[in-house]
Amino acid sequence: MSVENIHVMRESFAQLFALLQDSKKGTSSWYSKLESASWFKHLRLIMQGSMRVVETIEREHGSALIHCTDGWDRTSQITSLAQLCLDPHYRSIEGFLLLIEKDWLWFGHKFQERTFGSSERSPVFLQFLDCVHQIMHQYPCSFEFNQHLLVFLVDSLNNCRFGT
């Protein structure tokens, strides 16, 4: 589905982060740098891949097998976003937390390495939450929770609040 690997995502996020620190926000060169960071391009590809799965299951009544190289980064992004769109239970607070547990923790996503590791660091889970935020922004009445839960999850991840 043309979703890039963790190394490309790490570089894209680093460019985005540096750009957000830039004092020249709003200038034409700033927007050009924002585009070249490719963060939104990556989000679009992740969401397009998820929608392809949704259409295969919902419209075509088919099955989908999703598996990236190792099975714990892009796989979790695509499958969990597709389930979020297909099943309203995952748009409840309880269901969303179950979805993260099921498709991220149980799948073996390397939270420690992706959050704090040097060569393995990558914003894969943050991208997932950003995609969720984009969907919530379009369909706010379809969710039992809001962006405060997403921010809480990011803060908890970065502060090592929970062992899992």
Residues with a catalytic annotation lie at 68
Q: Which residues contact 88 (CB under 8 A, 6 or more apart)?
A: 95, 142
How many angstroms separate the CA atoms of 50 and 85, rounded?
9
Q: Which residues contact 103 (CB under 8 A, 6 or more apart)?
A: 76, 79, 80, 83
Residue 88: DSSP 8-state: G
- The closest alpha carbon to 163, from 117, 118, 102, 101, belongs to 101
